[in-house]
Chains A and B, each alone.
Chain A
Amino acid sequence: MTPEEWTAVRLSLLVATTATLASLPVGVAIAWLLARGRFWGKGLLDTLVHLPLILPPVVTGYLLLITFGRKAPVGAFLADELGIVFAFRWTGAALACGIMGFPLMVRAIRLSIEAVDRRLESAAGTLGAHPVLVFATITLPLCLPGVIAGAILCFAKAMGEFGATITFVSNIPGETQTLPSLIYTFTQVPGGDAGAFRLTLVSIALSMAALLGSELLAQRIGVRQMAA
């Protein structure tokens, strides 16, 4: 592998990890709201969360560009007031990947929260636990396999995200050129086949490792919860 390829792999891992970890707390909160909440506009929230799954990735990327670009209102505010720049940076790639993976993450977590027996939660309440503590000590541990599954799905999606990323932050080597972007670049130049093939193998290996890792983790948690 060439240094250029290693850079792309490292960058992809950084982007996907950041995207997953940053969206996890938000994902758990939204999933809980959708699973347990009763409020006006719940259907709207559900639709919004799922939007990136249905929209063409290019459209999502373009929407990000006109929202978080340097000249766009939100992007300008973040850059000037907080010093956070997304446009054409790896952070922008992480944002795009996080948003694309978000629906998958929320779906998995929501399903696992819905599967938690609410009667256990009310029992915890009668024992003196505040609702926040009920969530932390009962709901969250019991839906942990689902949370892990959601995080892995999000990570896998982030590793492979291409359309929204390239539209939003372009394809800058060392900054926003992730694994899929580099494979795409290789396919556009003569003699790039070997590089594209190497990266394809790396991509497959990383995805399978993530899946296996999540299976093992979920199994260990499952065993710990059920075993005597």
Chain B
Amino acid sequence: MSLEVDVDHARGSFRLTARFTAAPGLTALFGRSGSGKTTLVDIVGGLVRPDRGRIVVDGQVLVDTATGLFVPRHRRHIGYVFQDSRLFPHFNVRRNLLYGRWFGRDAVGGAKADLDSVVELLGIGALLDRRPASLSGGEKQRVAIGRALLSWPRLLLMDEPLASLDEARRAEILPYIERLRDQMGVPILYVSHSVAEVARLATTVVLLGDGTVTAIGAVGDVLSLADPADVGSVLDATVARHDEAFQLSVLATLAGELQVPRLRAAAGTAVRAYIRARDVMLSLQPPEEVSALNVLPGRIVEITAGASGAQADVRLDCHGAILVARITAKSVQRLALAPGRQVFAVIKSVSFERT
């Protein structure tokens, strides 16, 4: 699967100029509210006609303003999961799920998901005969995802599917989206303004700011650029074991072991940890008798002064994993920190679902 986007679109005083290519897996469109994320997926999905540009999916040109080509949305084979689930109120869950199947679409490069496997994947077997009005927000969103999957899309668009849900519901749905990404083989274009969601789900990140693409790349490289005021680093980890006595989980990462509050994931599960730069302290000696559980040794790669001059971001190489610490410029001078120096990173907290 490939998705090529090259569009210009103006709406009022807002101008969107986007050019990127998405790879298989989950591509996150990340940016603040009003950065043009939704407009961009609406253009890909055929809900908005761009002023100028080209959209190509799997070699098929869907939009080309130069030749006047515009494939209408019902012939694009692109699934769309909306922020508000948009289930059809007059159908029960089963008929909502099968709505896309009525039109006898052939699968065009997408996964031929059948009802049983989708129901199983999303855990919605008990809801099939219910009406959308009686579902909770999280259940609605799972049904909406299933409905889009069952239309046999070759590309799935998800526009902040978790934005209207509370923290508990988000935690409930995130694993399903991970399974979707890993098992269904449908590439996903996922809109979000949540660092935690993107850190956890994305393969590739397209960073959008004020209507233009500011960075594209792997999640670990791009995410720290996302918000200069709140830098962080992403560590790929697996759950090594649980410490039931203290209700902790031990994660194995390239940088070493991390102890975090007990996760609900089983041992062996792959997770992504997000560590905010301001939650990392640096020490020249291995600190003893501190309350923080996690201390990782590393070597300084780079020190970047902050815009105000009071702070600096220190990038550490911890056995191949990159960790960023945000400390004061005064501390940099006092400890005589410089690239190449061996230090110890004291991590105050690790988050998994930070918004």
What is A's interface to B at a CB cutoff of 8 Å?
117, 119-120, 122-131, 133-134, 137-138, 141-142, 224-228
Contact = CB atoms under 8 A, between A and B. Distances in A.
A137 B131 CA distance: 16
Nearest to B147: A127
A228 B74 contact: no
Contacts of B72: 125
A127 B103 contact: yes
B82 A123 contact: yes
Nearest to B75: A128
B46 interface: yes
A218 to B, nearest CB: 14
B179 interface: no
A226 B86 contact: no
Interface of B: 45-47, 72-80, 82, 84, 86, 88-90, 99-100, 102-103, 105, 130-131, 133-134, 147-148, 151
17 contacts: A122-B47, A122-B73, A123-B88, A125-B73, A126-B45, A126-B46, A126-B47, A126-B78, A127-B74, A127-B79, A127-B99, A127-B147, A128-B151, A129-B99, A226-B89, A227-B133, A228-B133
Closest 10 CB pairs of A and B: A228-B134, A127-B100, A128-B103, A123-B86, A126-B80, A125-B73, A225-B90, A127-B151, A228-B131, A128-B105
B147 A228 contact: no
A123 B80 contact: yes
A126 B74 contact: yes
B131 A227 contact: yes
Contact of B90 (A126, A127, A224, A228): A224
A141 B103 contact: no
Nearest to B82: A123
A226 B134 CA distance: 9
Contacts of B131: 226-228
Contact of B74 (A119, A128, A137): A128
A133 B147 CA distance: 17
Contacts of A129: 74, 99, 102-103
A129 B100 CA distance: 7
Nearest to B152: A128
Contacts of A125: 46-47, 72-74
Contacts, number: 74
Contacts of B73: 122, 125-126
A85 B35 CA distance: 64
B28 to A, nearest CB: 20
Contacts of A225: 89-90
B60 to A, nearest CB: 15
A124 B47 CA distance: 11
B150 to A, nearest CB: 9
Contacts of B100: 127-128
Contacts of B130: 228
Nearest to B76: A126
Contacts of A120: 86, 88-89
A130 B72 CA distance: 9
B97 to A, nearest CB: 10
A123 B151 CA distance: 11
B74 A131 contact: yes
B12 to A, nearest CB: 19
Contacts of B105: 128
Nearest to A226: B133
A67 B178 CA distance: 69
Contacts of B86: 117, 119-120, 123
A119 B159 CA distance: 14
Between B74, B84, B130, B151, the greatest number of chain A beta carbons within 10 A of the residue's beta carbon is seen for B74
Nearest to B98: A127
A142 B89 CA distance: 8
B96 to A, nearest CB: 10
A119 B82 contact: yes
Contact of A124 (B79, B84, B99): B99
Contacts of B84: 119
A19 B237 CA distance: 72
A126 B79 contact: yes
A19 B345 CA distance: 83
Given A124-B99, A226-B133, A141 B90 contact: yes
A131 B74 CA distance: 8
Contacts of A141: 90
B130 to A, nearest CB: 5
